[in-house]
Amino acid sequence: MAKKVKKKELGLGIKALLSNIDHKVEESPELVVRELSNTVAFIAVTMVEVNPFQPRKEFDEESLKELAESLKVHGLIQPITVRRLDSNHYQLIAGERRLRAAKIAGFNEIPAYIRIADDQEMLEMALVENIQREQLNAIEIVITYKRLIDECKLTHEELSDRIGKNRTSVTNFLRLLKLPPEIQQALKLKLISMGHARSLVGIENILLQNALFKETIDKELSVRALEKLIRESAEPKKKQTEKSVLPDDYQDVENQLKSYLEAKVELKLKGKGKGHIIIHFDSDETLNNVLDKIEK
């Protein structure tokens, strides 16, 4: 049976978090912003309305279904962010794709960071302060980076200045959000290190990425051992794409055929006096032209 995220792992009940919030805001808005910026609450999906100024209007349905299936298994690692309008009404700030997928997955509640109106400057200060906490894991750090970019409208350069990190470090952290939820969760639980994660995120083939991730966990591979496996997995592909250098006389034959047939021609040697001639065509017209010239 698919499992949802355990509430204890993420945050508080919405009533406990927001009790007397209006009164608290009047007394000490800084403390409220700081508390809300670092706390995840659960909100009914029916209470969240989409921001009418959201520039993104179209979402790939197949991609949403895949994310929904992932949420059923791993839960929502990166909470959405909402602005509180009143006690039972919230407006989405960031995470519409996650919200849509949660609805498809049948979630009644969704984890969310809650903001109050006009708290931009205080929120930025609270989030930057939050990053300095030593006990944050890599995923918590990168989620905070993403919030600063999305909610506080910071560029990578501005973010690096705010947190005292170089831009390359910031970009490398943000790339971790491209990892599948299973690998993000393993990094969060410290089953793999940042070094492992950086190596895995560079693998474009999802099946290969998943296979090497599982092998890393099962065999407790070091980062260096994982990097070696990644290099070895890429070598056959590299060898296949390398073109053999033809001797001059064979190269002349290849060039003459290209010129005469007016098509791409490859001459491949398989040994002394043996090989293949490959003629490429990209349309019926090109093929007919080649056949006419061969018949002549």
Q: Is residue 89 part of a domain?
A: yes
Question: How does strand 274-279 pair with strand 109-115?
Answer: unpaired
Residue 201 C-beta-side C-alpha neighbours within 13 Å: 19
- Distance in angstroms (rounded) separating the CA atoms of residues 17 and 24: 11
pLDDT at 265: 85
CA distance 101 to 77: 13
The span from the CA of 191 to the CA of 224, in Å, is: 16
Number of structural domains, the chain? 2
Residue 17 pLDDT: 52
* Residue 229 belongs to some domain of the structure: no
Domain annotation covers residue 160: no
Which amino acids are annotated catalytic? Answer: 96
Tell me, what CATH number does 88's domain have? 3.90.1530.10
Query: What is the mean pLDDT for each group of 10 consecutive residues in the chain (296 residues)?
Result: 43 50 51 64 87 64 86 84 79 84 90 73 70 75 85 84 83 88 89 91 89 93 91 65 69 80 83 83 78 79
What are the angstrom distances between the C-alpha of 61 and each of 64, 65, 66, 101, 168?
A: 5, 6, 9, 9, 33
- Return phi, psi of residue 4, to 5°: -100, 170
In a domain? residue 242: no
Residue 137 lies in a domain: no
Whole-angstrom distance, CA of residue 111 vs CA of residue 91: 14
The pLDDT score that the predictor gives to residue 213 is: 94
Separation between Cα atoms, residue 232 and residue 224, nearest integer Å: 12
In a domain, 186, yes or no: no
Quickly list DSSP for 35-47: HHHT-EEEEEGGG
Q: What is the domain range of residue 25?
A: 1-118
pLDDT confidence of residue 118: 60
User: Cβ distance 212 to 226 under 8 Å?
Assistant: yes
pTM of the model: 0.51
Last residue of a domain, one of 69, 101, 118: 118
DSSP 82: E
Q: Do the domain assignments include residue 197?
A: no
For residue 164, being part of any structural domain is answered with no
pLDDT at 3: 41
Q: How far apart are CA 54 and CA 39, in angstroms?
A: 24
Last residue of a domain, one of 83, 118, 153: 118
Exposure of 265 in the CB half-sphere (CA atoms within 13 A): 19
Domain stops at, among 73, 93, 118: 118
C-beta separation of 96 from 58 below 8 A: no
Other CB atoms within 10 Å distance of the CB of residue 27: 10
Q: What pLDDT was estimated at residue 225?
A: 92
Strands (E), the chain: 11-12, 40-44, 48-49, 80-86, 89-94, 109-115, 265-271, 274-279
